Chain A
Amino acid sequence: AQKVTQAQTEISVVEKEDVTLDCVYETRDTTYYLFWYKQPPSGELVFLIRRNSFDEQNEISGRYSWNFQKSTSSFNFTITASQVVDSAVYFCALSDYSGAGSYQLTFGKGTKLSVIP
């Protein structure tokens, strides 16, 4: 079963628009961790944020903000006043316990964001 769903395959916005990237996850664990990573056109993967399941406080970092809602199993990512440099593929990921002392890390399929000048 898919554990991380990023329903938006591709999104295009005009520069300065706000955009929200959706992430819905599935887990039976009460302790788990959620991540967002960015992959710009150059190809490298860059860590953006981590949230643990006990911390539902929203996070804001400059133009980026994250909304974590356990009630809807969602961890959405909003970019305010988007810029061309935000154009990238964004991955949401879930780390939860898989047994035998091991955690499983599962990535969503990614959302490609294009910001048009």
Chain B
Amino acid sequence: EAQVTQNPRYLITVTGKKLTVTCSQNMNHEYMSWYRQDPGLGLRQIYYSMNVEVTDKGDVPEGYKVSRKEKRNFPLILESPSPNQTSLYFCASSAGQGAYEQYFGPGTRLTVT
């Protein structure tokens, strides 16, 4: 089954404790990205990757890191989480940019206290 998986699905952590949210896709997609969803703000792109070893900032990259060492994986790293990073996070992949629709993971609900 074609899918994007994220782990963990739910995470409660404390300020400053480094964490990683994993994302993996099995569709051989070139393009992957991370979004955060907040009430009243919709979906905002954090980082994206056009291919292995190629990543770039989205609209809200502050406080996040990513890496794309393999085509299928695109982890999101919070080196020192803060309460304002409490949000619902989605990973997505697509065959390319422009005309291609995004396939989204199930989401990760992160709470930083």
Interface residues on A, range: 20 to 34
Interface residues of A in 1-47 (CB under 8 A from B): 6, 9, 33, 35, 37, 43-47
B102 and A103 contacting across the interface, CB-CB below 8 Å: no
Residues on A with beta carbons closer than 8 Å to the beta carbon of B33: 105
* B101-A102 in contact (CB<8A): no
B interface residues, how many (CB within 8 angstroms): 23
**Could you tell me the dominant secondary structure of chain A's interface residues?**
strand
B20-28, B42-50, B63-71, B79-87: which lies at the interface: B42-50
Min CB distance A38 to B, Å, is: 11
Query: B42, B106, B107: which contacts A109 (Cβ < 8 A)?
Result: B42
CB neighbors of A among B64-113 (8 A): 88, 90, 92, 97-99, 101-104, 106-107
Evaluate contact between B99 and A52: CB separation under 8 angstroms. yes
Spell out B's residues near A (CB within 8 Å).
33, 35, 40-45, 50, 56, 59, 88, 90, 92, 97-99, 101-104, 106-107
